[in-house]
Structure 1
Amino acid sequence: MKAVLFDLDGTLIDTAADFIRIIQQMCRDEQRPVVDAETIRTQVSEGARAMVKLVYPELDVTDPVFLAHRQRFLDVYGDNIVVDTDLFLGMYPLLEELEAHQIPWGIVTNKPRGLSESLLAKLNLTERCAVLVCPEDVSKTKPDPEPMYLAAKQLDIDVQEIIYVGDHPRDIDAGRNADMYTILAAYGYLPVESRDDLAAWQADAIIYTIPELHQLLKQKITVLSENQGMMG
């Protein structure tokens, strides 16, 4: 292992609380039934369109009214992107250990670049993140492997020496399609329709907690360190 890449929402950063707050407030403002928190959480990885669809299920996503609501949601979220958002508990020491071993970490996400950069800046992660690949950077997004290849190229590290961690089937598919070692983050925002058979995702490993992820990555770090020592 020479680098670790993460999906953003639901894998590296716990953004659900802010999405829940904003969507539930939209429901109240529009005098609509308030969507429960768990339903919102499972849709976070699907993006703004899925979020707004929870509030206005009867509207077509191409309807100008729907698009106006979507823009309003994006504006409110952009202005309040880190209120209750933070890295998942235990993720800070994990990143610190990677950095201590000079193993770069980065992000490959389907979240728009503007929002991703703002999120990282608010959490003081901009300078620490070795690479950030967003939809605007590629012609095809995850599950296509193009974003993964771009990240590897920018890191100047072979894809087979990179681990990708994600909480959505498209994350695992993208990593597998790029021949990376994939880890399914089962603590994340798993889609309801895919959570009953995690083995079907065909990830190289499944972890259920951040400590499990930390331990797995430590094993990979140890192997790398031992190999470097032998070579030295």
Structure 2
Amino acid sequence: MIKCVIFDFDGTISDSIQVFVKAYNDFAEKEGYNQVAVEELDDLKKMSIPERCRHLNFPMRSIPFAAPKLYRFIRESKASLPLFPGIKQMLDELSSRGIHIAIISSNATDIIDHCLKSNGVDYVHDILSSKYIFSKDKMIKKLLKQYDYSQEEVFYVGDEQRDIDACAKTGLRAVWASWGYDHESLISGETSKAAVPDDVVDFALRA
């Protein structure tokens, strides 16, 4: 029986790509990195994170230092992060069935909380922020231990290969959100595919 569904945020719950492109381009202009053109977004989705960094002349080691500046841009611009179509209805349905909803993301907790509440979602139990983009598995283990959940009682919904990798490290079932950041060609490993948000509810009821 599923007791908890953990979600990634950007690209899974929030359609935040346009806002983050603006934030990144502002940062890149100041730091001398290559900017992102809207017309190349589809190509970038087919690249791994190291490939994207090379394409943008952006060293991966700078990601932890760049993230706070991107979040500051979003806060100062008061940008509104929209939800993908069908996401609120999906979350409402899961909540109505008594399922524990959690979010583990590399985004800042206050930005996530503001987005959810501004879209009428005020029942998410936990929002955990991972400082490093490849350490979500540590946050997953923390959540499982906190609530004494078994691996069979939880699954994770994400849109990137690193989400699938985090599930592999923790033994969770992974559901890949095909509407998100990574192209299907990048996804490998044991995972179920969600083409629309309703698929996530169906998976929760079947599992």
Answer whether TM exceeds 0.5 for this pair. yes
The TM-score with structure 1 as length reference comes to 0.67
| Distance (Å, rounded) in 1 between the aligned partners of 2:118 and 2:136 | 29
Is 1:196 aligned to residue 185 of structure 2?
Answer: yes
Q: Which residues in structure 2 correspond to 1:165-176 (within 5 Å)?
A: 165-176=157-168
Of 220, 226, 231, which aligns to 2:204?
A: 220
1:96 and 2:83 are equivalent in the alignment: no
Contact persistence 2:155–2:175 (CA under 8 A): yes
> Cα RMSD between the aligned structures?
3.7
Q: Show the 5 A alignment for 1:64-143.
A: 73-83=70-80, 85-125=81-121, 127-135=122-130, 142-143=134-135
Q: Name the amino acid aligned to 1:220.
A: A
Q: CA deviation at 1:76?
A: 1.9
Query: Are 2:199 and 1:206 equivalent residues in the alignment?
Result: no
Q: Offset at 1:81?
A: 4.9
| TM-score when normalising by structure 2 | 0.74
Q: Are residues 1:161 and 2:153 paired?
A: yes
Shift in alpha-carbon separation, 1:172–1:145, aligned structure 2, 3 A: same
Asked if 1 retains the 8 angstrom alpha-carbon contact of 2:159 and 2:177, the reply is yes
Identity value in percent:
20
8 A Cα contact 2:157 2:176, kept in partner: yes
Q: Aligned pair count?
A: 198
What's the CA shift for 1:72? 5.3
For the residues of structure 2 that align with 1:168 and 1:81, how far apart are their CA atoms?
Answer: 26
SS in 2 for 1:13: coil
The structure, 1 or 2, with the larger RCO (C-alpha pairs under 8 Å, 6+ apart) is: 2
Classify 1:114/1:94 alpha carbon distance in 2 versus 1 (closer, same or farther; 3 Å).
Answer: closer
Gaps of 5+ in 1: 225-232
Q: Given that residues 5 and 105 in structure 1 are in contact (C-alpha distance below 8 angstroms), is that contact kept between their aligned partners in structure 2?
A: yes
Matched letter for residue 169 of structure 1: Q
Which of 172, 178, 182 matches 1:186? 178
Alignment of 1:10 onto 2:11? yes
Structure 2 residue matching 1:14: 3-state secondary structure: coil
Structure exhibiting the larger radius of gyration computed from Cα positions = 1
Q: Structure 2 CA distance, aligned partners of 1:12 and 1:148?
A: 18
Contact 2:164 2:189 in 1 (8 A): yes
**Cα distance in 1 between the residues matched to 2:74 and 2:16:** 11
Q: Is the 8 A contact 2:130 2:136 kept in 1?
A: no
Look up the equivalent residue of 1:196 and give its one-letter code: S
Residue type at the aligned position of 2:18: A
Q: Structure 1 residues 204, 74: closer, same or farther in 2, change over 3 A?
A: closer
* d(CA) in 2 for partners of 1:77, 1:39: 22
The DSSP-based 3-state class of the residue aligned with 2:103 is strand
Amino acid paired to 1:176: A
Q: CA deviation at 1:124?
A: 4.4
Once the two structures are superposed, residues 101-157 of structure 1 have per-residue CA deviations (whole angstroms, 9 ceiling, x without a partner) of 1011110112233443444444443x4111111125xxx764562211112233442
Deviations 1:187-217 (A, max 9, x none): 10016xxx4253xx2132122333xxx2353
